Amino acid sequence: MMDVHGSEYLRWAKTRGPARFDLTSSGVPYLPLRELPVVLDDLEISGTGAYGWAPLQQAIADRYRVDASCVVAAMGASMANHLALAALVQPGAEVLIEHPTYEPLITVARYLGAEVRHFARRAEDGFRLDPAEVERAITPRTRAVVITDLHNPSSAPADRDALREIGALAGRVGARVIVDEVYLDSLWESAPRTAFHLGPTFISTNSLTKVYGLNGLRCGWVLAAPELAGRMWRLTELFNNIGVHAAERLSLAAFQDLDAIAARSRNLLDANRAALNAFYAAHPQLQAMEHAHGTVSFPRVTGGDVDALCALLIDRYETAVVPGRFFGMPEHVRIGLGVDPATLAEGLDRLGRALDALS
């Protein structure tokens, strides 16, 4: 039974042993502080606003073309998702979450006392978002529908028309649609506007972590209608009260240079995407759609036991991937592209040798 006081996946990620060729990360490498356009005199450790630091709030609002009253600061996307769910869900309510999905989304909903139901994003259909699956699963007790875009763990995008249909379905039962967009910016200039713009049913969450390599700043946010945003701000009084002001100032500097930071990430992911697709073409033991965008891929292992494969990778090949059981699909693995190309190339080579050894 899932432990609702913590995340099985995050516990595994934090406590597992190191791997020389680690392909488990879902984000790009950390951006060094020296690459942010700041000097020590730009920083202060005190001075945050009571409900968000106004310059950072405005920078987020400007980037996503929303009013600042719709922006709620959060300690990363994880807390942003927690705030969004906590503002909507009472014990005994129902939350409808995609499958497969990022396991902490399920855990936080259950921690809040919700009954979790699922709708399918099917591997054989490229993990696309299908409103018919939501329609089959939604009920009058549903208070939130939770979607990741890009999809974690597959990086499949959410079609805008499908999102609109799901928003209409949610609206009919008085539910909201929470869209975790922490990977969406890795579509670069083709990235659609945040789902928040699709209508009042939608809530979006995001952060500077996965696509920009700024994990340490813990700069996350929720985009929500002002009344709902106000409810989330009240919840922050219970969770973290106020932000870390030095991190807020560094985050503002990042927003002012975000296009340049994105170019660094894009160059890395473009190179690694080509290498991953070549690897898939040479290894029929893995079934996967062609990797077109995003920081992670989620192939199905067609021969052999996934847990045995992951153990062999660690023990003999000093390589790590994420077992698919953490996303509810134990026959899959998640491969992260957010490493330097040499590490990815060697890690994939070792994965190939492990697949051959098992078969």
Statement: residue 12 has pLDDT above 70: yes
Q: What is the pLDDT of residues 128-173, one digit of tens each?
A: 999 999 999 999 999 999 999 999 999 999 999 999 999 999 999 9
Query: Please, what are the domains in the chain?
Result: 8-29+259-358 (3.90.1150.10), 46-257 (3.40.640.10)
SS (H, E, C) 236-255: HHHHCCCCCHHHHHHHHHHH
For residue 121, what pLDDT is reported? 98
> Residue 258: enclosing H or E segment and its boundaries?
helix 258-282
> What's the confidence (pLDDT) of residue 41?
83
Answer yes or no: is pLDDT of 4 > 80. no
Instruction: Output the six-digit token pair for 92.
Output: 């005994």
C-alpha–C-alpha distance, residues 87 and 83, integer Å: 6
pTM: 0.96
- The reported pLDDT for the residue numbered 2 is 52
pLDDT of residue 1: 45
Asked which of 70-74, 227-231, 355-359 is least confident by mean pLDDT, the reply is: 355-359
Question: Exposure pattern of 301-324 as b/e (b: 16+ CB <10 Å)?
Answer: beeeebeebbebbbeebebbbbbb
Region 244-268: what's the mean pLDDT? 96
Picking from 9-13, 38-42, 86-90, 186-190, which range would have the lowest pLDDT averaged per residue? Answer: 38-42
Lowest mean pLDDT among 1-5, 99-103, 162-166, 345-349: 1-5
| pLDDT above 70 as % of the chain | 99
Amino acid letter, residue 327? F
Nearest to residue 80, comparing CAs of 263, 188, 207, 167? 207
How, if at all, do strands 219-223 and 202-207 pair?
antiparallel
Mean of pLDDT over the chain: 95
